[in-house]
Structure 1
Amino acid sequence: MGYSFTLRRATVSDAALLSQLAEQTFREAFEAIYDPEDCRRVVESSYNVSKLQNELADPDIYFWLAFTENEAVGYLQLEPNKRIQGVSGSRPLWLHRIYLKKAWTGQQVGRLLMEKAFRHAEEQGHDVLWLTVWDQNPGAVRYYERWGFRKTRYVNFPLGSENPPTDYLMQRDMGRIRVIPFHPDYRSDFARLNYQWIEHYFTVEAPDRAYLENPEKHILEQGGEILFLLEDDTVVGTVAMIPSGPNEMELAKLAVIPEKQGQGWGKKLVEAGLDFAHAKRASSVWLSTNSKLDTAINLYRKRGFLEEAIPENMGYVRVNLFMRLKLTESASSQ
């Protein structure tokens, strides 16, 4: 059976309805996971009618309610120009909450709310949309990744316990130029762009083929990530982040198409890769390269990478330079 859904902007008169909806959806999402007393405190402090009346009266806080007939089944809360450490962009938009009743999952309510968030961000000129999501909820993390959000930090979630859970900070770039996490539609571009530059300067080696022909096995399933730089919907660059040991990651397979080089896209990809390393709590990021790649080496040095002795058994004949960047940033608080 198909259902028809509508959205409308919530007003102060909706405070009681929103309070009931917010409490129900929060409990459905977290009560089986978190301590009941912590959940009770969050509900009482965040979803009481008085607090929601104040937020609904604030012109800089936007709520939308999703309905099917007369039943409210989900809601969206957006707040402009709020940021925490790790959020980039000059005009960020916080996707503070997006919840729907458990009974209505899989009925396109989430899509309706997310598309509304995107339209609002674009209409209001925001360059980044960001949110936080529990890092132990892989289904939710994958859901946001499919919408183009990428991990940038980890955040302590204030539930009130002595050992609060941690969230991923995730953000989606708005506009024509975006960095997105791995998507199957762009899998072949990862191989194509890397084969192009490797064959231009060097000879393709066995480790190259392993990563490029089966990135799922050798990168993604190991807890790594492949990032793509899009101009509109065309891939113009890519980079991989590969776990390589306790608390460290390798930055690898950085490639930008020739006609877009020299425009800062390599730097943007490196920064996005380092964001991912922060989100995974890496303490250092290393890379291996060749001294003939002057432009790339200058980029790494400017970002703070320092040369070290080349470890044994690197696996690449072409490697004659090894560099590492130590990461010292701790978790943010939401």
Structure 2
Amino acid sequence: MENIEIKPVTKNDVADLQKISIQTFTETFAAYNTEENMAKYLREFLSFGKLSEELDNAYSTFYFATLNNSIIGYVKLNFSNAQTELQDSNGMEIERIYVLQEYFGKSVGQVLFEKARQVAEEKNLHYMWLGVWEKNPRAISFYKKNGFIEFDKHIFKLGEDEQTDIMMKKILNNGKSV
């Protein structure tokens, strides 16, 4: 897709970040989860206050994907102790990468992934890692296509429901085996 631009998310963008976060998360997972569990997750993890805190964290970075000045997706990257699990200074977590459903199949996710890889390489990191829901074959296929391999599993709590995420990593060109 032409003219996709990537721009850093700033403190002034919290309302826009919340809007795209809620919309993409709902589009992706509402059909597979109860309304109560979805509402609890959105309230606890995608609130204005929670997203503001995440933006204030010096070890987390967000980027929007925009097309014609409209936000169509975003990515959240975590470094050092902001990582949800590994917290390795040689690694970077892609905690979230979401695209509006109407832009699926139009390379928006690939552009966001390329930005993540660029950031990791600029920081001379050895690898990137992420967790992806085991029941999300589209995302798993995307990550495998981009060179990620499975290395573990962890529990992701959505509301009251404990779900299994596959943990995947990609060794970078300057990386060493971890």
TM-score using structure 1 length? 0.50
Cα pair 1:74 1:109 within 8 Å, conserved:
yes
**Structure-1 separation of matches of 2:39 and 2:112:** 26
Alignment: residue pair count: 176
**Mapping 1:38-57, distance limit 5 Å:** 38-57=37-56
1:165 partnered with 2:163:
yes
Residues 164, 139 of structure 1: alpha-carbon distance in 2 compared, 3 angstrom cutoff:
same
Task: Give the structure 1 partner of residue 19 of structure 2.
Answer: 20
In the alignment, does 2:30 pair up with 1:31?
A: yes
Corresponding letter in the other structure for 1:126: L
How big is the shift at 1:57?
A: 2.3
Helix, strand or coil for the counterpart of 1:67?
strand
Uncovered stretches (5+) of structure 2, i.e. residues with no partner: none
Amino acid at match of 1:16: A
Higher relative contact order (CA 8 A, sep 6+): 2
Tell whether the 8 Å contact from 1:89 to 1:128 is kept in structure 2 after alignment. Answer: no
Query: In structure 2, what is the equivalent of residue 233 of structure 1?
Result: none
CA contact (8 A) 2:127 2:175 kept: no
Q: 2:89, 2:15 → 1: CA distance? A: 35
Letter in 2 for 1:93: M
Q: Distance in 1 between matches of 2:172 and 2:88?
A: 10
Cα distance, 1:89 vs. partner? 6.2
Q: Which amino acid aligns with 1:137?
A: N
- CA contact 1:94–1:129 (8 Å) conserved in 2: yes
CA distance in 1, matches of 2:51, 2:9: 11
Which residues of 2 match residues 281-292 of structure 1 at below 5 A? none
Whether the 8 Å contact between 2:150 and 2:169 is mirrored in structure 1 is yes
* Matched-pair identity in %: 29
Q: How does 1:169-208 map to 2 (within 5 A)?
A: 169-176=167-174
* Superposition map of 1:1-334 within 5 A: 3-81=2-80, 82=83, 84=85, 87=86, 91-161=90-160, 163-176=161-174
Over alpha carbons, which structure has the higher Rg?
1
Alpha-carbon RMSD across the aligned residues, in angstroms, is 1.9
Q: Distance in 2 between matches of 1:50 and 1:88?
A: 24
Distance in structure 1 (CA, Å) of the matches to 2:88 and 2:79: 12
1:125 to 1:38, Cα distance in 2 relative to 1, 3 A: same
- Give the superposition deviation at 1:49: 1.1
Deviations along 1:244-303, whole A, 9 cap, x unmatched? xxxxxxxxxxxxxxxxxxxxxxxx6xx9xxxxxxxxxxxxxxxxxxxxxxxxxxxxxxxx
Aligned-partner residue type, residue 138 of structure 1: P
Native 8 Å contact 1:38 1:160 kept in 2: yes
Output the CA distance in 2 between the equivalents of 1:79 and 1:73.
21
